[in-house]
Amino acid sequence: MPVTVEPCLFVVFGGTGDLMSRKLLPALYHLGERGAVHRDCIIVGVGRSADLSDDDFRRQTQEALREAGLDPGNSQAWCGRCVHYRSIHDGRVEQYRTLKAELEALEREHGLPGNRVFYLALPPQAFPATLTGLGESGLNRSAGWTRVVVEKPFGHDVESARQLNDLVHAYFEERQIYRIDHYLGKETVQNLMVFRFANPIFEALWNRDRVDHVQITVAEDLGIEGRAGYYEQAGALRDMVQNHLSQVLCHIAMEVPAAFDAQSVRDEKAKVMRSLAPVDPRDVVRGQYTRGAVADTGIPGYREEPGVRSNSATETFVAMRLQVENWRWKGVPFYLRTGKRLPRRVSRIFVTFKSAPVSLFQPFTSSLAPNVLAITLQPDEGFDLRFEVKQPGQPLGIGTQQLHFRYADAFSPLPDGYETLLLDILGGDQTLFVRADWVEASWERYHAALDAPPPLEFYEAGTWGPHGADLLLRQDGRAWLPL
């Protein structure tokens, strides 16, 4: 069914920041141009600067849209109609009360029914004060619906996640809270449920009897890109594994939901996370990149990056072995891997099926490759199924071929992940958003690896990580599949 988006105020705290200019504004503009959101949806950027006028902010908005490659004429008209700026100065509760009066005036001016989205495009340390300001000023209540969007990371560990959940629940109900993970907006991630549950040929094989193991890799060729202040506190495990990779794992491992609605889907993902055995630090490899080259470009080591401590023990790479202790997956290892300054940017899932118990073809080949389903999340979204075939001629030869599907071949253009997620927020669909119990369960499962991390290993920038990552699979008689 098409999403129905009612007129609303879309209020972005951190309205002059990088996330707003690079992601949110282009996504909101595209949604408006497609008619996916109501023409009367008004965007309000909120920041600390008291000297920035509406016209100044609109000029900044137009520049951001121009840099995103959008038509300057159309974007100028859109900004003039939809975009406003308001300041909260020093962020005291009194300033939020003033903001409340200003937002109500905008609603009267534009004839809006009181529907509001508050998007916290802010550093995590600013979440508590902003949530408190919204709640204590009464901005958490309105004549229509109110929704609050919180970017990752949601907490730093299990205790901070619980405290943040308690705080946001003091002012908002769970149905109003959208903990956003942009990774879940990717078309291929969303299609995992359709792929599994609409195609019984695969679902019948999706269990410990037929699957040998699962590999999930999210590789980045970039470094920390000036985010040393954040990354030094986070590292790869907090930045990527606890949220992005764990969400992908849940899509792969979840049971069939009772219905295709937000509550049922999120129930099944929470069950996976509760079934995940706590991670043993001995099953974790931590790495940090040193000097090297990516795409023939010289790269400094992580400790040489601006703002990074010269003796930093922060990991830029993590590989780990996980076990889902339930009926479907008992005994099937899930291998997760992510890192910065790897040879290229790619995100891929490999589901490797068990080989035939007896090979009829031993006289002709020493080994047969197992069937593998490869699911590419980026950059070339699609699916590949690898299987064995007879090669033409004599004597008998066997080789691996593959069936492949690419989204770009069938659907163009693909919507940006933020467009998908913003439309769901505006339409009130929480299916792709993280629930409180999932967040806390995820932090609990990784607690031991965070509390007592294994020793740091080093890898050269432009390689696929430290040697220990290969040993992790070699101990099980397996290897990372080529990306």
Q: Which of 314, 348, 289, 313 is nearest to 469 (CA)?
A: 289
pLDDT for 316: 97
Residues of the chain with CATH 3.30.360.10: 184-413+436-474
Q: DSSP code of 297?
A: E
182-to-3, 176, 240, 417, 421 alpha-carbon distances in Å: 19, 18, 12, 6, 7
End-to-end Cα distance, the chain: 36
CA quadruple 185, 241, 381, 27: dihedral sign: positive
CATH class of the 9-151 domain in this structure = alpha beta
Residue 283 tokens read as: 């099953």
Q: Would you tell me how many other CB atoms lie within 10 Å of the CB of residue 38? A: 17
* H or E element, residue 211: strand 211-219
Candidates 156, 213, 244, 251; catalytic one: 244
Peptide bond into 363 cis (omega under 30): no
Measured CA to CA, the distance from residue 394 to residue 389 in angstroms comes to: 14
Tokens 């071929």 sit at which residue? 401
* H or E element, residue 75: helix 72-82
Measured CA to CA, the distance from residue 97 to residue 101 in angstroms comes to: 6
Report which residue type is found at 68. Answer: A
Measured CA to CA, the distance from residue 238 to residue 124 in angstroms comes to: 13
244 noted as active-site residue: yes
Spell out where 220-345 has E strands. Answer: 284-290, 292-294, 297-299, 317-323, 333-339
Residues of the chain with CATH 3.40.50.720: 9-151
pLDDT for 407: 83
Q: Which of 425, 21, 52, 480 is nearest to 285 (CA)?
A: 480
Q: What share of the chain is helix, strand, coil (3-state, %, to 5)?
A: 40, 25, 35
Residue 281 tokens read as: 């630090």
pLDDT for 329: 97
Measured CA to CA, the distance from residue 203 to residue 428 in angstroms comes to: 30
Q: Is 429 helix (H, G, I), strand (E, B) or coil?
A: coil
373-to-14, 141, 401 alpha-carbon distances in Å: 41, 48, 12
CATH code of 184-413+436-474, in short, is 3.30.360.10
Query: DSSP assignment of 316-341, as one string?
Result: SEEEEEEEB-STTTTT-EEEEEEESS
pLDDT-flagged residues of the chain (< 50): 1
Residue 274 tokens read as: 């509760």
pLDDT for 216: 97
Measured CA to CA, the distance from residue 359 to residue 355 in angstroms comes to: 9
